[in-house]
């Protein structure tokens, strides 16, 4: 397992008792996975430590020699207002607690309390600090309007403004330990967004992808959490699950909307506690892993219908992006066409063909129900059939004819588009409307418009001239 620190910022424990510092360090690491911890026994050195380190949370004792905790709390509040200070005192006094809160303390705990309460308080402070830093990071990114690491998105071909804004958001939240939910129709490239988020995360571990669609509860648990020897018949050797494989990295859960309710419970517990039980084991394991989930389904609708747990839904959507379908970014079609023709030529060992000038315009009239994946398949099919220097449009026309136009239900096979019209147009009116629509979709290109309506270019030109009279 790769060694890393959690959280990204340090937690500073201040107390003149070395034994308590050792105890709280072990408790936070064992119970919360917190390993980024600094300790200080001399209250006079605290400000020096804060000035020289990125500290997000301070655990502060009140009764110390040389400098009291209350005096130190006041200085921290003034000089480091972003730092969350949790007072941990041996005195259970309401007046003292009220004074500390007025001085700017985030929380107040008594040393004799159960350690679980202190751990929960520290985790609340860590989460608050993470959210504030993420918000500040996102604001700075959006204000600048520029990507700091555009190379992370090199695999996503686009010039669309919505996509570039999506990149800025992913870049801003990439280092957050909280889950990222990526939604969008099938074929839009959700896995590419997950890969970019992992590359930007700075995590030393690897990206591990799991498609959870169709996994029953037992297979899901074994796939994610592994098993010990003898956990079930045939389990002759222990096996690490995908969670451990992704330790200190990113776990990408694709098709999360298909997860069964029992499996949702197991996933929720892991996200909340950061620990899991391999099948057949009663000893929990703890790992740090960033979860990115993706789905083409409407999780909000599934949650309302009782098919997806509300607590898991809101846990997963801490950060979320929607990848737009290709029909909402048609300007990307020429770029993607050129990219996929080159990719297909390389993989098939051919010279990259020259596409006809009308091809990109033709494809921009199609709504691509299969999105980018559909366009890629079209290009590979066309290049595999290519023989001459100029690429034939026939493969694309056949594909568009087979798939139809997914955005217009009225145009589905077997359904009359005039069935919902109150007054039927005359034959000449219908033909004129058809020609006008073909010219609109082709961007004024008569050759392409003629192909769309199945007539010759001279015949179309003749009709257009007659309409202008």
Show the tokens assigned to 5: 């620190």
The candidate with the shortest Cα–Cα distance to 186, out of 12, 41, 374, 353, is 374
* 412, pLDDT greater than 60: no
Contact 308, 170 (CB under 8 A): no
Residue with tokens 């390993």: 35
Buried b (16+ CB within 10 A) or exposed e, 211-227: ebeebeeeebbbbbbbb
Question: Residue 269 carries which DSSP code?
Answer: H
Model pLDDT, residue 438: 82
Span 327-415 CATH architecture: Orthogonal Bundle (1.10)
- Report, as an integer, the average pLDDT of 418-440: 78
Model pLDDT, residue 398: 85
Lowest mean pLDDT among 198-212, 397-411, 448-462: 397-411
Identify the CATH number of the domain defined by range 145-324.
Answer: 3.40.50.300
Q: For 244-281, what is each residue's pLDDT tens digit?
A: 999 999 999 999 999 999 999 999 999 988 889 999 98
* 286, pLDDT greater than 70: yes
* 211, pLDDT greater than 90: yes
Model pLDDT, residue 116: 86
Between CA 145 and CA 174 the distance in angstroms is: 17
* 406, pLDDT greater than 50: no
- Report, as an integer, the average pLDDT of 79-104: 90
Model pLDDT, residue 142: 65
Q: pLDDT-based confidence at 407, cuts 50/70/90?
A: very low
Between CA 300 and CA 41 the distance in angstroms is: 50
Model pLDDT, residue 415: 67
* 469, pLDDT greater than 80: no
Lowest mean pLDDT among 84-88, 99-103, 439-443: 439-443
* Class of residue 165 by CB neighbours under 10 A (exposed 0-12, middle 13-18, buried 19+): middle
The candidate with the shortest Cα–Cα distance to 376, out of 336, 327, 326, is 336
Between CA 469 and CA 463 the distance in angstroms is: 10
- In sign, the C-alpha dihedral spanning 337, 339, 340, 344 is positive
- Give the whole-number percent of the chain exceeding pLDDT 70: 94
Q: Sheet containing 290-295: give its strands across.
A: 207-211, 250-254, 290-295, 180-183, 319-322
Show the tokens assigned to 105: 């303390």
Cross-strand partners of 13 = 39, 59
Q: pLDDT-based confidence at 421, cuts 50/70/90?
A: low
Between CA 359 and CA 392 the distance in angstroms is: 9
- In sign, the C-alpha dihedral spanning 134, 135, 136, 140 is positive
Between CA 292 and CA 277 the distance in angstroms is: 21
Model pLDDT, residue 145: 63
- Report, as an integer, the average pLDDT of 103-128: 90
Residue with tokens 């502060």: 60
Cα-Cα-Cα-Cα torsion 422, 428, 430, 432, nearest 10 degrees, comes to -140
Q: Does domain 424-469 have CATH number 1.10.10?
A: yes
Between CA 458 and CA 446 the distance in angstroms is: 9
Q: For 338-396, what is each residue's pLDDT tens digit?
A: 999 999 999 999 999 999 888 998 898 889 999 999 999 999 999 999 987 789 888 89
Q: pLDDT-based confidence at 80, cuts 50/70/90?
A: very high
Model pLDDT, residue 414: 54
Model pLDDT, residue 420: 64
Model pLDDT, residue 408: 44
Model pLDDT, residue 464: 84
* 403, pLDDT greater than 80: no
Domain 145-324 and domain 327-415 have a common topology: no
The candidate with the shortest Cα–Cα distance to 316, out of 297, 334, 333, is 297
Superfamily name with CATH number, domain 10-133: Response regulator (3.40.50.2300)
Q: For 313-333, what is each residue's pLDDT tens digit?
A: 999 998 999 999 999 999 999
The candidate with the shortest Cα–Cα distance to 155, out of 198, 216, 218, is 198
Q: For 22-49, what is each residue's pLDDT tens digit?
A: 999 999 998 888 999 999 999 999 999 9
Q: For 116-163, what is each residue's pLDDT tens digit?
A: 889 999 999 998 998 888 778 777 766 666 788 999 999 999 999 999
Q: pLDDT-based confidence at 425, cuts 50/70/90?
A: confident
Strand bridging mode 275-276 / 285-286: antiparallel
Q: pLDDT-based confidence at 462, cuts 50/70/90?
A: confident
* 8, pLDDT greater than 80: yes
Domain spans in the chain, listed from the N-terminal domain onward: 10-133, 145-324, 327-415, 424-469
Q: For 214-231, what is each residue's pLDDT tens digit?
A: 899 999 999 999 999 888
Continuous H helices in 317-469: 333-348, 357-364, 371-385, 394-403, 427-441, 446-453, 457-468
Show the tokens assigned to 269: 């517990």
Q: pLDDT-based confidence at 428, cuts 50/70/90?
A: confident
Q: What is the rounded average pLDDT for all residues in the chain? A: 88
Q: pLDDT-based confidence at 457, cuts 50/70/90?
A: confident
Show the tokens assigned to 329: 């970014």
Strand bridging mode 319-322 / 285-286: unpaired
């Amino acid at each position: 397992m790769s060694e890393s620190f959690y959280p990204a910022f340090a937690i500073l424990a201040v107390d003149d008792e070395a034994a308590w510092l050792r105890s709280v360090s072990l408790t936070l690491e064992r119970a919360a996975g917190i390993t980024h911890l600094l300790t200080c026994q001399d209250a006079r050195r605290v400000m020096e430590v804060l000035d020289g380190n990125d500290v997000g949370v301070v655990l502060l004792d009140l009764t110390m020699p040389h400098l009291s905790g209350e005096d130190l709390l006041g200085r921290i509040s003034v000089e480091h207002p972003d730092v969350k200070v949790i007072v941990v005192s041996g005195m259970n006094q309401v007046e003292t607690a009220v004074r500390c809160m007025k001085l700017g303390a985030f929380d107040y705990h008594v040393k004799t309390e159960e350690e679980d309460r202190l751990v929960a308080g520290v985790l609340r402070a860590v989460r608050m600090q993470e959210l504030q830093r993420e918000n500040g990071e996102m604001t700075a990114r959006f204000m600048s309007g520029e990507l700091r690491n555009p190379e992370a998105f090199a695999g996503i071909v686009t010039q669309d403004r919505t996509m570039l804004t999506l990149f800025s958001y992913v870049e801003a939240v990439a280092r957050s330990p909280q889950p990222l939910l990526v939604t969008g129709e099938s074929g839009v490239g959700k896995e590419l967004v997950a890969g970019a988020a992992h590359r930007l995360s700075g995590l030393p571990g690897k990206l591990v992808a799991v498609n959870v669609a169709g996994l029953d509860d037992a297979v899901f648990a074994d796939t994610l959490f592994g098993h010990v020897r003898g956990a079930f018949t045939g389990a002759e050797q222990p096996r690490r699950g995908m969670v451990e494989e992704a330790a200190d990295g990113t776990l990408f859960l694709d098709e999360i909307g298909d997860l069964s309710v029992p499996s949702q419970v197991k996933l929720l517990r892991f996200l909340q506690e950061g620990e899991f039980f391999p099948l057949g084991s009663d000893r929990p394991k703890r790992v740090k892993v960033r979860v990115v989930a993706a789905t083409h389904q409407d999780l909000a609708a599934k949650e309302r219908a009782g098919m997806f747990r509300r607590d898991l839904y809101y846990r997963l959507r801490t950060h979320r992006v929607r990848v737009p379908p290709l029909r909402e970014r048609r300007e990307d079609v020429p770029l993607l066409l050129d990219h996929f023709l080159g990719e297909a030529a390389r993989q098939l060992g051919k010279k990259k063909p020259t596409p006809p000038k009308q091809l990109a315009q033709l494809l921009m009239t199609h709504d691509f129900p299969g999105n980018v994946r559909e366009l890629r398949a079209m290009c590979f099919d066309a290049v595999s059939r290519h023989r001459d220097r100029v690429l034939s449009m026939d493969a694309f026309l056949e594909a568009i004819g087979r798939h139809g136009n997914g955005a217009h239900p009225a145009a589905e096979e077997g359904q009359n588009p005039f069935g919902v019209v109150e007054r039927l147009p005359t034959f000449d009116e219908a033909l004129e409307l058809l020609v006008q629509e073909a010219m609109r979709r082709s961007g004024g290109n008569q050759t392409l418009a003629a192909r769309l309506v199945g007539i010759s270019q001279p015949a179309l030109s003749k009709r257009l001239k007659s309409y202008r009279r």
